[in-house]
Structure 1
Amino acid sequence: MRYIAPPRDSVAPEVFARWPLYGWREYAAWMQSTYWPSIDELNAVRPTGQRERFVAQTLELLNDGLHYEQRIAERGEIATREANWHDLFNAMAWLRYPMLKRALNVRQMADIAVMGPRERSRAQYALTHFDEAGVIVTLRDRSLLDLWNEHDWYGLFWRERTAWMDGRATVQVFGHALLEHALTPGKLLVGKALACMASDDEGDAVAACAQGIEAGRLLCDPLELRPLPLAGLPGWHPESDMETFHLHTPCYQPRRDGRAYPASLLL
């Protein structure tokens, strides 16, 4: 069933004080004010030198005959629906992670050139899944990856609960649909993750993932993406601080027979 975001004036205030939306609090005014930010307001805070800009998605724009990704690549125009949660969060992702967004666009355009604008490759599905629900997880403890590989969610999120608070495991939410779904209190969020392994604090996971995506080393198939039940992270769900949640929550799915994941990206 397609998710329908709640109206702006009916969003529960507590969702903005809980992850993942709390992690985007620099945009709190856009999320929590009584008014929607304008296209001009979005453009006013673009990173210095960013070519891409937000444009209102009007009927006239849609009649230009271009694919959404083509407008970005050829004209630097990000079609944006005004007064729309999904597109607001997409704009926020462009503002925080322009390198990742640009890498996805480069890859989408490469496949559109081969497949045409109506057909989609497995790589395009992977790129879209990451764009909508992507997270980047950086680990500094190999045992955590072993638990994740086996879908040992109790071990990963309860026995190793402190790992998600002491820096051995960090999560960066990229997918704008995840942020939209977080508007519903108590929703069991599951991200589609790229895993990175770091030996120190020097590695830049976002830059490494963007480079890997643009070069075609990452996101060639949807099965590369690992499910990560974000609801299990400390503070991400109202009940995640209770052991019983990690024993019975339906978002903890077992690993399917034969399911394997690619090696983590080394930073």
Structure 2
Amino acid sequence: MTGQPGDAGADRRRFLAPPRGQVDPACFRHPLFAQYAGHRALLTASAWPGIDTLNAALPLPGRRFAAQDAALLADGLHYETRIATQGLIATRSENWHDLFNALVWARHPAIKSALNARQCLHIATMGPRRRNRAQQALTQFDECGVIVRVADPALLPLWDGHRWADLFAAQAARWRDGGIAVAAVVGHALMEQALLPGRLLVGRAVVVQGRDDAACVARVAEAIAAGEILDDPLELRPLPLAGVPGWHPRQDAAFHGQADYFRPLRAGRRYPPPLREV
């Protein structure tokens, strides 16, 4: 998931989403989509929302969605540069990936703006055709990112050691009482893949120690903007989302024992400490 919207090379590598008419609207009741419930009509209506509909439903100060057509691309600008300099978010018609991207822009504009600003900083240094590890980290978070809030720091060693059954099953109550929680899903590629229920998705997580979801999300936006995080993809913690209590219909011992999904910790792998809620 390393390409930007409109990158044809990336499209060939991406998950192929099902046609709109073949998507069961019930999939949008999954917890992964909880923060986007207010705009569920954009996802479940029989017809695709057009650009004017998106701009009316998802107003963004200083930004707007623009149809990605030949006229738009004639400016020759990089996708990220166009957003920064013209406020135009290139959006393909009848495209799940870009529709979910629009929803994330509306729900988390500070995070998306910070990601865009950092990408543009690196583009200015590297040029439009080369990518460094920081750009890879920014893109991975943009495509597959989740923000996890941890109120109880005693849970982190379980995650650090990939002790998945302990983190998810033995500590299931902490996922329900707020000891640990998915504070935000920002990865639009994750949402696209969730169109097929039952897929075993892995989020790329930034962790914040705190008790308030909104404050933790704001802290991540601040940290991205300041260049405190996302300098390398290895900063991102893998989170097998199907293990989160209530996020998959089967969560028994045999399920948590699937080592090809709940992968053991690689030798030498270390994760950064969490950010702290301000």
Shift of 1:18: 1.7
Contact 1:46-1:95 within 8 A present in 2 as well = yes
Matches of 1:194 and 1:239 in 2, distance apart?
26
Contact 2:27-2:195 within 8 A present in 1 as well = yes
Q: 2:195 aligns with which of 183, 192, 207?
A: 183
Give me the TM-score of the superposition, normalised by structure 2: 0.91
Shift of 1:3: 0.8
What do the CA deviations read for 1:10-29 (whole angstroms, capped 9, x no partner)? Answer: 11233122221244221211
Matches of 1:243 and 1:165 in 2, distance apart?
19
Task: List 4+ stretches of structure 1 deviating above 4 A.
Answer: none
Unaligned runs of at least 5 residues, structure 2: 1-12
Matches of 1:39 and 1:93 in 2, distance apart?
16
Shift of 1:237: 1.5
What do the CA deviations read for 1:37-67 (whole angstroms, capped 9, x no partner)? Answer: 11111111335x6111100000121121100
Secondary structure in structure 2 of the residue aligned to 1:138: strand
Give me the TM-score of the superposition, normalised by structure 1: 0.95
Amino acid at match of 2:221: A
What do the CA deviations read for 1:68-103 (whole angstroms, capped 9, x no partner)? Answer: 001100000000001110000000000000000000
Matches of 1:202 and 1:106 in 2, distance apart?
23
Q: 2:260 aligns with which of 242, 250, 263?
A: 250
The reply to whether residue 220 of structure 1 matches residue 215 of structure 2 is no
Number of corresponding residues: 264
What do the CA deviations read for 1:79-138 (whole angstroms, capped 9, x no partner)? Answer: 000111000000000000000000001101111111010101110000000000000000
Q: Which moved more, 1:31-40 or 1:9-18?
A: 9-18
Amino acid at match of 2:269: R
Secondary structure in structure 2 of the residue aligned to 1:40: helix
Aligned to 1:37: 49
Matches of 1:237 and 1:249 in 2, distance apart?
17
Shift of 1:249: 6.0
Contact 2:243-2:256 within 8 A present in 1 as well = yes
Shift of 1:144: 1.2
Q: Aligned pair in 2 of structure 1 residues 22, 211: CA closer, same or farther (>3 Å)?
A: closer
Contact 1:21-1:182 within 8 A present in 2 as well = no
Matches of 2:253 and 2:37 in 1, distance apart?
29
Secondary structure in structure 1 of the residue aligned to 2:31: coil
The reply to whether residue 126 of structure 1 matches residue 141 of structure 2 is no
Matches of 1:165 and 1:56 in 2, distance apart?
41
Amino acid at match of 1:265: L
Q: 2:208 aligns with which of 190, 196, 207?
A: 196
Q: What are the within-5 Å matches in structure 2 for residues 88-103 of structure 1? A: 88-103=99-114
Aligned to 1:209: 220
Q: Percent identity?
A: 52
Unaligned runs of at least 5 residues, structure 1: none
Q: Aligned pair in 2 of structure 1 residues 167, 247: CA closer, same or farther (>3 Å)?
A: same
CA RMSD of the aligned region, Å? 1.5
Shift of 1:243: 3.2
Aligned to 1:3: 15
